[in-house]
Every structure is written in structure tokens, then in C-alpha cells.
């Protein structure tokens, strides 16, 4: 528990080789030459952004600047890491920059690594995922993309050189913490991929390794942190920004103003931020990483007592059966992504006579003696690789980065290939590959990592437990995060939310059972900020409704209002405004309400019913939280249930209302009230 914030971040700090506090070493001090630098790479001209294919042209503005950040370690044979705020830096770009750093600075091969933060709000780099924008760009847009790529290459070389020039004596130390906002995004139905969402029982990797460098004056000059989660908290907003990783860097540098912060991404290709949907949510996730880092630096860290040695390996990852030319020819007339892909495959067949049946896959390792092995894997690597490697090997001494040195494709596991879906199949279209991977790639990659790290990391007492690779339950996740969320609110918002404390003294559950047969259901963010499948209703058709029954309600003599609470959400505020929704009780008393992202209340014309809404999650378009329905006792019978119904009063709009089918609403309320009381102390 971080005592400063009241937010549980599950910090586990490793210190096997000494009992030092902070970055003090046992016995003789170990000093290494360490330098760090950063340089702005925000586009200065319009450019297409990577990550989402449906954006309407080039970027429309800048939410936050983008950076290339570099860390150099060592004197005679230094290593250099460059962490880039970009969706992906392709292998051909990395190779060109690496050749220049080798010639100019003597740093190349396994000593030079480029990692992408995978923000989906950064410029498209020439050659990355070619089908995403294939056929959707003008010559001028392509020229501006090439111009940005050339500028980026120059800056990567410059920032590496600056980090090398900035080297000074420093002590390196590392520790391991946890963050909890990454959730598996592959939703399944009967074991088969059904779309993007939140699969609560899907694997994750909550580990947050952190490396620090303190100079002889005691200042922290560099902080490197890693977390396995997609950089998609902002969503498809067509604005430049670093997403949660950029926010993490900013928050860490606010806490440690003398340091350059570098965030890299672990095996999070099938893990998404929970919740997501706005720049504000990205900032919250960044602050969570900052708190984890600060907590680790406040405790004991293991000092690295030797300079790193390096190694690399390139595998040939086999593809499954390559389709016949006739199959591509049949698709080539289509105007969609499949058609663009088929025409690219035919072009390659005409030029080469055959399509490659494998993908070249680079891997690098930096070993700090037996204390720490840092692995760099190319591509968008799914979380199964982290789970397997960190449990089969000594995971407490293993740090795994993805999106490193090349991004040839998603790298699915045997599980993901069996389940099918985007990461296993359709993403190969985006990346211009002729077929999915063969299942044996998992063993090839795992065996390759084991070869690179060596036998010293195959045994030890630091194997990580499976608990680190599971997402918490909705209520416990809400309990972990609500304190920090409440503390981040404005005074005005806290004042509105304070009404919950008074309402809680009389709350009864407002949900027992759905009475609408076979309602529409969809997975979206609920009160806790995690995605849950729940019934919903849109304003597309007037008269459509969603109904449920409450438990028997207690009506006490002299009671002014009976208060019942249910959980739900409303959304798509950008859709056309209509007459809204109607909430009815037993088909008699009614009130109107509509979409909101902030606390609101609505009252019936006869003043017999009042509906209050307190969002505990929101995005730019949607919200979710606690609904309180206050009803005059005259409308109720003691110890009898009532039927609540929400009906669309409008049509032609996709504005929606969703209901969380949760009976234990009072338990959720108690968590929120506890956070409010803690804030007032």
C-alpha cells in the first residue's frame, strides 16, 4: 500500500544480493558510465497517424508532444536504448539508424535497441503495416509521411549521440512493482475469438520492472519502466499524443525533475487499458505508473554490480500454408483491406515468383551478470510469452520488452492461434503477410529466449506466481482504484459526489432480475471502469424498452422517500439529441432522463420520483456509475418488488442506456463511501 495515495499498487521490490536501502551498495561501489537524453519528435506538418485505419485523414491537432528518449550504459562497449513515442518503428528504419550509430559512435548490433511505445496517436512511419493506409492516401500524404520518417531517423541518431555524450558515473539499480490497469482484450464465446472487449479471466502481466541511475551527486538521472499493455487509452481521436506511456513519462519526470524517463512496453499485444476512451483516462494510467515508480524508489532496490553483456539471435518463424495464387486473384477485385492485400500479394508473386513462407524475427538480450536479464522481442507479442517465460524461468530476474527493433506483425501464441481472430488472422492482412503463423512459433521463441539468457536464469527462487497474471474481480479492482480517482476530482465534483454518503444511509438494492426477454447485450465499460457484458437500449426506435424487477422493498412508517440504487451507464453523447429516455415504476409514475457525462438529477412532473446519477467512470462520449431512484412511499407497497422500465422516447439516434445486472449494489456503494470518508479526513 502506497501510504501517500491510498492506492494499492502491489509493490514487490527485489534485493537478493544485499540488504541495502535505496541504491546503496554492499561493499565496494559499482560505478558505470550512464547518460540519458530526449528530443522532441512531434510532427511539424500534417501527417497520417498509425494504429487505426478509419481515421479521417491527417492529424487534427496535438494533445501532447512526442519524444525520442535514449539511455546509454557503459564506457568501452556501451549499450544504447532509444524509446520512441510511436506505434511502431519498422525494422528497416532501425537498421539504417543502427548502421549510422555504428559508424559514428561505435554502437551497433545487439548494443543498439529501438523500442516503440506503441501509442496509436503518432505518425505513420513509412513501411509500417502497409495495408492500413494502402489505397487510402494521396501522393501529398505519402510525401509528408516520408518526410516525417526521414526526420525521425535523424533524431534517433542525434538522441543516441546526446545520451552517449551525457554519460557520467552512476549507479544502476532495479526493482519490480505492479500496475493493474491492463486487461485482456480478446473476448471469447465458446473458446473462440468474438471481438475486442474485456475478457476478465484472460491472461495479463501486471509486473512493472523499473531501472534507475543515480549520479555521484545522488540525483536520479534516468528512470526506465516497462508495462505490458497496449497504448490505446485515448482511443481513435485523431490528435497527436503519447497515450498512457507518454503520460507516465511526464508524471515520472514531474516527480523526479532531474531524470529522463523512458517507458517501454512488455508483451501486451492482446492486453488493453481498463478503462479507456479519453486523454484524461490516459493521464490516470500514467499517474498510476508514476506512483509505482515512486514507491519502488522509496524502498530497497537491487544495485546492479556489473556492466551488461549482450547477445542477439534471428529466428525464422514459419507461416502456415500459403494460399494459392487463384485465391488472391479472386479477392483482388475487392475494394476493402482484403482486396488491397490480395493485390500486394499478386505484385510480390509477379516480382519474385513465390511468397516467403517465414518471417525473420530478431531477438536481443542484455544481461547484467546473473542479476537481471533484459529481453527485447520484435513485434506485437501477446502476453502468453511473458506468462510462460516468467513462470518457466526465474521470472523475478527477467524483464521482457516487445515492439523492439522491428515490428513484422503480431506475434500470437499457440492459444491465440487456436482461438483465432484479430491477432492470429486478420492482423496479418494489415502487415502484408500471406498467411497466419504456424503454431510452433511459440516454442521457437521461448527456446530462443532461453538460449539467449543462458542457464543462469533457468533456476532460482524468484519464479513469479500466476496471481501476477490475472485481472482482479470488478469490485476489488474498483476498491483498489477508487481512492486515487476520488482524490483526482475537482472540489465541485467531490461536493456533488458527497450526496452519496447521505443517500447510502437508506439505500436498498434496485435490481433483482431482468424481465425483458432476450434483451440486446454488449460489452462496455461499467461503474468500475472495466468492460462487462450487460443489457442495453438505444434511442434508435421510439417505444423500445428495457425492464427489470427489484427485490422486495421495505417501506417504513413515516419514511419520506424510499431510496433504491442500481448500476448502469449512458453514452454516445455526440449522437443526435432526441426526447431522451423515460423511467417508469410499475408502468405508472414516470420521469425523463438523458445522456450525461457528469453527475445529474431528474425529477418527475408530480415530484413523486427523483433520479440521481453519479458517474464513477467516463470518457469523451460515455459514462457509467450509480443511479439512485428516490420514490414517494405512496407509490409502493411494503415488502413488495417493483418493476422498473426504461423506454426510448426518441428515434434515429444511437444514444444508449445500459444496466449492470448486479444485485450486490450496496457493497459497491460502501467502497465509494469509504473513499469519500478517507478524503475528508
Mean pLDDT for the stretch of residues 527-554: 93
What pLDDT is stored for residue 80 in this prediction?
Answer: 98
Is 405 in contact with 113 (CB distance < 8 Å)?
A: yes
Helices (H), 332-465: 337-352, 384-392, 414-419, 427-430, 441-453
Beta carbons within 10 angstroms of residue 635's beta carbon: 16
| Nine cell digits for residue 49 | 497517424
**pLDDT reported for residue 18:** 33
Give the pLDDT confidence score for residue 465 in this predicted structure.
Answer: 57
Cα 369 from Cα 307, distance rounded (Å) = 8
Query: What pLDDT digit, counting tens, does each position of 38-80 carry?
Result: 999 999 999 999 999 878 899 999 999 999 999 999 999 999 9
Q: Is the pLDDT of residue 27 over 50?
A: no
From 105-109, 178-182, 431-435, 463-467, the region with the lowest mean pLDDT? 463-467
CA within 13 Å, CB half, 484: 28
**pLDDT tens by residue, 290-304:** 999 999 999 999 999
Q: pLDDT confidence of 392, banded at 50, 70, 90? A: confident
Residue 25 has pLDDT above 80, yes or no: no
In this predicted structure, the answer to whether residue 210 has a pLDDT above a threshold of 60 is yes
At residue 14, the pLDDT reads 38
Q: Taking 90 as the threshold, does the pLDDT of residue 460 lie above it?
A: no
The pLDDT mean for the chain works out to 91
Do the Cβ atoms of 175 and 142 come closer than 8 Å? no
Report DSSP letters for 548-617, one per residue. Answer: EEPPPB---TT-S-EEEEEEEEEE-TTSPP-S-EEEEETTTEEEEE---SS-EEEE-TTSSEEEEEEEEE
pLDDT in tens, 644-678: 999 999 999 999 999 999 998 999 999 999 988 88
pLDDT tens digits for range 33-43: 999 999 999 99
Q: Compute φ and ψ for 220, nearest 5 degrees.
A: -80, 115
The stretch 420-448 carries a mean pLDDT of: 96
How would residue 24 be classed by pLDDT, with cut points 50, 70 and 90?
Answer: very low
Task: Quote the pLDDT of residue 198.
Answer: 86
Question: Minimal CA–CA distance to 645: which of 546, 553, 543?
Answer: 546
> pLDDT of 345-379, one tens digit each?
999 999 999 999 999 999 999 999 999 999 999 99
- CA 549 to chain CA centroid, Å, is 36
- Work out the pLDDT band at 467, boundaries 50, 70, 90: low
pLDDT of residue 9: 37
Instruction: Tell me how many helices (H) and strands (E) the chain has.
Output: 14, 32
Q: CB–CB of 610/630 below 8 Å? A: yes
Confidence (pLDDT) at 23 = 36
Looking at the predicted structure, is the pLDDT value of residue 503 above 60?
yes
The arithmetic mean of pLDDT across residues 432-454, rounded, is 96
- What is residue 463's predicted lDDT score, i.e. its pLDDT? 54
- pLDDT at 584 exceeding the cut of 80: yes
Residue 12 clears pLDDT 50, i.e. is over it? no
Q: Quick check: 246 pLDDT over 90?
A: yes
For the segment 633-650, the average pLDDT, to the nearest whole number, is 95
> pLDDT, tens digit, for every residue of 169-187?
999 999 999 998 999 999 9
Mean pLDDT of 206-226: 97
What confidence tier does 486 reach under pLDDT thresholds 50, 70, 90? confident
Please give the residue that has the higher pLDDT: either 143 or 588: 143
Per-residue pLDDT at 476: 75
* pLDDT score of 472: 65
Q: Residue 488's pLDDT band (boundaries 50, 70, 90)?
A: confident
Which stretch of 52-61, 226-235, 456-465 has the lowest confidence by average pLDDT? 456-465
Q: With a cut of 60, say whether residue 89 has pLDDT above it.
A: yes
Give dist(CA 33, CA 172) in Å, integer: 10
pLDDT digits (tens, 9 = 90+) for 568-577: 999 999 999 9
pLDDT of residue 490: 85
Give the pLDDT mean for 409-426.
96
Mean of pLDDT values over 514-530: 90
Query: How sure is the predictor about 8, in pLDDT bands with cuts at 50, 70 and 90?
Result: very low
As a whole number of angstroms, the distance between CA 474 and CA 660 comes to 12
**DSSP-assigned beta bridge partners for residue 522:** 534
pLDDT of residue 606 exceeding 70: yes
pLDDT band at 464 (very low <50, low <70, confident <90, very high): low
Listed range (33-37, 203-207, 249-253, 403-407) with the worst mean pLDDT: 203-207
What pLDDT is recorded for position 462? 54
Amino acid at each position: 500500500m502506497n501510504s501517500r495515495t491510498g492506492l494499492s499498487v502491489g509493490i514487490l521490490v527485489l534485493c537478493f544480493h544485499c540488504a541495502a536501502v535505496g541504491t546503496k551498495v554492499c561493499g565496494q561501489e559499482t560505478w558505470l558510465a550512464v547518460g540519458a537524453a530526449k528530443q522532441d519528435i512531434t510532427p511539424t506538418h500534417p501527417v497520417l497517424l498509425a494504429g487505426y485505419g478509419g481515421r479521417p485523414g491527417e492529424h487534427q491537432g496535438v494533445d501532447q508532444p512526442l519524444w525520442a528518449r535514449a539511455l546509454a550504459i557503459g564506457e568501452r562497449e556501451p549499450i544504447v536504448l532509444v524509446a520512441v513515442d510511436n506505434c511502431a518503428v519498422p525494422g528497416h528504419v532501425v537498421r539504417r539508424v543502427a548502421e549510422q550509430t555504428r559508424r559514428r559512435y561505435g554502437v551497433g548490433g545487439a548494443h543498439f535497441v529501438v523500442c516503440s511505445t506503441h501509442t496509436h496517436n503518432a505518425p505513420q512511419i513509412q513501411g509500417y503495416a502497409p495495408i492500413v493506409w494502402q489505397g487510402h492516401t494521396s501522393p501529398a500524404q505519402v510525401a509528408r509521411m516520408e518526410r516525417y520518417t526521414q526526420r525521425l531517423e535523424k533524431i534517433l541518431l542525434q538522441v543516441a549521440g546526446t545520451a552517449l555524450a551525457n554519460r557520467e558515473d552512476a549507479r544502476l539499480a532495479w526493482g519490480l512493482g505492479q500496475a493493474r490497469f491492463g486487461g485482456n482484450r480478446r473476448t471469447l464465446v465458446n473458446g473462440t475469438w468474438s471481438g475486442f472487449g474485456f475478457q476478465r479471466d484472460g491472461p495479463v502481466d501486471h509486473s512493472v520492472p523499473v531501472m534507475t541511475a543515480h549520479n555521484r551527486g545522488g540525483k536520479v538521472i534516468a528512470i526506465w519502466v516497462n508495462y505490458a499493455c497496449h497504448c490505446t487509452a485515448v482511443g481513435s481521436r485523431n490528435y497527436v499524443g503519447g497515450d498512457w506511456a507518454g503520460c507516465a513519462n511526464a508524471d515520472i519526470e514531474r516527480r523526479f525533475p532531474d531524470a529522463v524517463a523512458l517507458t517501454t512496453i512488455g508483451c501486451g499485444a492482446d492486453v488493453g487499458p481498463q478503462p479507456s476512451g479519453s486523454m484524461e483516462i490516459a493521464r490516470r494510467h500514467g499517474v498510476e505508473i508514476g506512483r509505482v515508480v515512486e514507491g519502488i524508489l522509496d524502498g530497497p532496490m537491487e544495485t546492479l554490480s556489473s556492466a551488461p553483456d549482450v547477445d542477439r539471435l534471428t529466428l525464422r518463424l514459419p507461416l502456415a500454408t500459403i494460399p494459392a495464387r487463384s485465391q488472391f486473384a479472386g479477392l483482388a477485385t475487392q475494394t476493402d483491406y482484403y482486396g488491397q492485400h490480395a493485390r500486394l500479394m499478386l505484385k510480390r508473386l509477379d516480382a519474385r515468383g513465390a511468397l516467403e513462407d517465414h518471417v525473420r524475427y530478431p531477438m536481443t538480450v542484455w544481461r547484467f551478470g546473473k542479476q537481471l536479464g533484459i529481453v527485447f522481442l520484435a513485434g506485437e507479442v501477446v502476453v502468453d510469452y511473458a506468462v510462460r517465460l516468467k513462470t518457466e524461468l526465474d521470472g523475478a530476474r527477467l524483464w521482457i520488452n516487445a515492439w523492439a527493433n522491428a515490428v513484422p506483425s503480431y506475434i500470437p501464441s499457440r492459444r491465440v492461434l487456436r482461438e483465432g481472430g484479430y491477432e492470429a488472422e486478420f492482423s496479418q492482412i494489415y502487415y502484408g503477410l500471406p498467411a497466419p503463423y504456424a503454431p510452433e512459433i511459440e516454442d521457437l521463441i521461448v527456446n530462443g529466449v532461453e538460449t539467449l539468457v543462458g542457464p543462469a536464469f533457468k533456476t532460482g527462487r524468484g519464479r513469479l506466481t500466476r496471481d501476477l497474471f490475472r485481472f482482479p474481480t470488478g469490485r476489488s479492482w474498483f476498491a483498489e482504484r477508487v481512492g486515487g480517482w476520488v482524490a483526482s476530482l475537482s472540489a465541485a465534483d467531490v461536493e456533488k459526489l458527497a450526496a452519496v454518503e447521505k443517500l447510502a444511509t437508506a439505500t436498498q438494492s434496485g435490481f433483482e432480475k431482468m424481465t425483458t426477454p432476450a434483451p440486446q447485450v454488449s460489452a462496455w465499460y461499467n461503474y468500475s471502469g472495466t468492460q462487462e457484458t450487460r443489457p442495453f437500449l438505444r434511442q434508435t426506435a421510439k417505444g423500445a424498452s428495457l425492464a427489470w424487477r427489484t427485490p422486495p422493498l421495505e417501506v417504513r412508517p413515516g419514511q419520506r422517500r424510499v431510496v433504491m440504487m442500481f448500476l448502469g451507464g449512458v453514452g454516445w453523447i455526440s449522437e443526435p439529441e432526441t426526447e431522451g429516455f423515460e423511467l417508469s415504476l410499475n408502468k405508472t409514475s414516470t420521469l425523463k432522463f438523458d445522456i450525461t457525462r457528469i453527475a445529474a438529477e431528474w425529477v418527475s412532473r408530480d415530484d413523486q420520483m427523483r433520479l440521481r446519477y453519479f458517474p464513477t467512470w467516463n470518457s469523451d462520449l460515455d459514462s457509467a456509475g450509480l443511479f439512485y431512484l428516490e420514490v414517494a412511499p405512496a407509490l409502493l407497497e411494503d415488502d413488495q418488488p417493483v418493476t422498473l422500465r426504461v423506454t426510448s422516447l426518441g428515434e434515429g439516434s444511437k444514444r444508449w442506456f445500459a444496466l449492470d445486472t448486479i444485485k450486490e449494489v450496496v457493497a459497491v456503494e460502501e467502497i465509494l463511501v469509504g473513499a469519500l470518508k478517507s478524503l475528508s479526513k
